[in-house]
Structure 1
């Protein structure tokens, strides 16, 4: 099978879409029918542009979500108030840069409530609308494969911190139980389930900066255990897992190395592994996959990010091909899918990359994959 093309999930939203999302976020009056119509039209256009760029495994761009993790506050009970903000440790080392980001609006502003009560599903209506919109858009534009993002228990616990359950483990268990239905619904709809797990790397320098790497890895393993409990009865070949160190331009000098979280990452009950390799702090870590090839089960498919999601440089197709070729040499081209480092619209209305440039990057991604396929 040739190398196929996908991306991590979120894509730039139109201003009309962002305006409606924030009207709902602020609790303003809005027309729910108009909201649904706008989300459907935006999802269709997002899928059309992915197809035009050469993406073969598409998403809804997370069109209707305020962000990839905090959307759960709208779909589950138990959240209120606000969580403390904690800047990544690397930005704290460079306070002048952190101030510049804040002054320039380089840090997104959105609600991060605490967990203050039992976490339970409010029902799957919003999810089912997202699923229907994506499947309708796929049918309209002739796409066979699609995926939908869902937050992992660990990343929810990172951004919506616990002020109710007696322990972190009990909070994770409650999230695992509550989100099981969401995960199952995506798979049963015929879509790939993408589990977003930046907590397995990013939370090292955000929430657990005072711990040693070894102590953090033990915590990350509890996150994986909670996640695996929620998807234990689902087919791992239908599941993707994404790890990252934070989708922001910054020094990243406090990032935990991939080598230290490698086994934990591979321990997720998912066959498709999405990870950053364009990030300049992690571009060299393709070597971890080469050197630890024996630890990678035959069922695992590598989905490296070979275009960056924080820069407006459009990678040359030959650069993309070079990056993909390294992984094809390790596990074979039939076990590699081309992707981006992270999402291009992680938070509604916020993104470092110009929308048109984001799609140009996806186009270059597809061209680079085609080059590798021709050579293989």
Structure 2
């Protein structure tokens, strides 16, 4: 029987020790670089070990050293400075009382989102190489054979670090694609899979492009995928994962664009593994999009549905996980489905709706459900 391999979207809860170091760097405070590096290495090893214990087959470094999955680029690339105004998603604006409650309860993470104010160029891959070395060392210690590393897509960088330098969005995306190319190639050359985080293909519809029609937004999203594919020109497709989502937050999500509309664009991404939300109650029904458009899913794609949620502290029953997985196994075959999570559990350093221990309990139930789904396949 085919075993459903288990993975997740990437970010995991960081220890307080890690968070303190990251925010010392974020605030420009003095800290010991050697101590910082030792802390990251130690915590990545622990994070990999906990993933192995939970039954995860394809592990990550938990994005341990990064302030967030997108804005970390400000520390590794030139051209970013200052800060930018926050723009809440449209669904939260519809319910201002709930938005205020989130803000008052600390539900809105606070970190710098600088603007692009100059030419975007890499400062070198030194920090990335440390992340790679830490992950590979952790994998070796835990006896894990396969790992992946997250990287920001050109589109998501343009969403969170908006342009004040390049003449237009297309030029900015082109510059980002050229700048990020080496990062992508460095990750895969190290023997790791590359995951591109692309919430810009869905979340940005109700966050940044609310003034556009759906059709107009889809043209923007297509431009984002073209820039991404350009950056991946030298990266083997079978080493690439792409993650799409509508925002990793508990909220109404009633302004989300339908999966049916972004589906064709997702299929154009140069990626073998497609990660997407299916536990989010606003999108749980959309497994039928994949069923009804089976002919439009290229034969070389592997579907990685999010079969556990990452915004609540419910621990899903393994039988529910298995049920969700077998739906997709029935569409493309069990050998082309992996068990995943809706989003990350530590999208922003020091912020997460899910208790750290419960996050790993969710990964354990993910593994249990994948085993049940194998038996049903």
Same fold (TM over 0.5): yes
CA distance in 2, matches of 1:271, 1:59: 17
Aligned to 2:294: 293
Aligned length: 376
Partners of 1:239 and 1:336 in 2: CA distance: 15
CA distance in 1, matches of 2:285, 2:368: 22
2:256 matched residue in structure 1:
255
Please tell me whether residue 326 in structure 1 is matched to residue 327 in structure 2: yes
**Aligned mates of 1:288, 1:256 — CA distance in 2:** 13
| Displacement after TM superposition at 1:374 (Å) | 1.6
Question: d(CA) in 2 for partners of 1:33 and 1:338?
Answer: 37
Quote the offset at 1:266 in angstroms.
0.8
Say yes or no: does 1:273 pair with 2:253: no
Provide the residue aligned with 1:137 in structure 2.
138
1:160 corresponds to 2:169 = no
Q: Normalising by structure 1, what TM-score?
A: 1.00
Three-state SS of the structure 2 residue aligned to 1:13 is coil
Q: 1: distance between equivalents of 2:262 and 2:233? A: 21
For residue 285 of structure 1, give the secondary structure of its aligned residue in structure 2: helix
1:344 and 2:345 aligned? yes
CA distance in structure 2 between the partners assigned to 1:273 and 1:141 by the alignment = 26
Gaps of 5+ in 2: none
Structure 1 residue runs of 5 or longer lacking an equivalent are none
> RMSD between aligned alpha carbons?
0.5
Superposed displacement of residue 246, structure 1? 0.1
1:375, distance to aligned residue in structure 2 (A):
2.0
Q: What is the deviation of 1:24?
A: 0.7
Matches within 5 A, 1:148-297: 148-297=149-298
**1:233 deviation in Å?**
2.0
Secondary structure of the corresponding residue to residue 149 of structure 2: strand
> What's the CA shift for 1:335?
0.2
Q: Give me the whole-angstrom Cα distance separating, in 2, the residues matched to 1:342 and 1:228.
A: 22
In 1, Cα distance between the equivalents of 2:204 and 2:286? 19
Superposition pairs for residues 11-90 of structure 1, below 5 Å? Answer: 11-90=12-91
CA deviation string 1:75-131 (max 9, x = no partner): 000000112210000000000000000000000000000000000000000000000
**Displacement of 1:169:** 0.3
Counterpart of 1:105 in structure 2 is 106
Alpha-carbon contact 2:6-2:370 (below 8 Å) kept: yes
Dislocated runs of 4+, deviation >6 Å: none
8 Å CA contact retained: 2:326, 2:376:
no
2:126 paired residue number: 125
Write out per-residue CA displacement over residues 237-259 of structure 1, whole angstroms, 9 at most, x where no aligned residue.
10000000000000000000000
Distance across 2 between alignment mates of 1:179 and 1:329: 37
SS class of match (1:273): strand
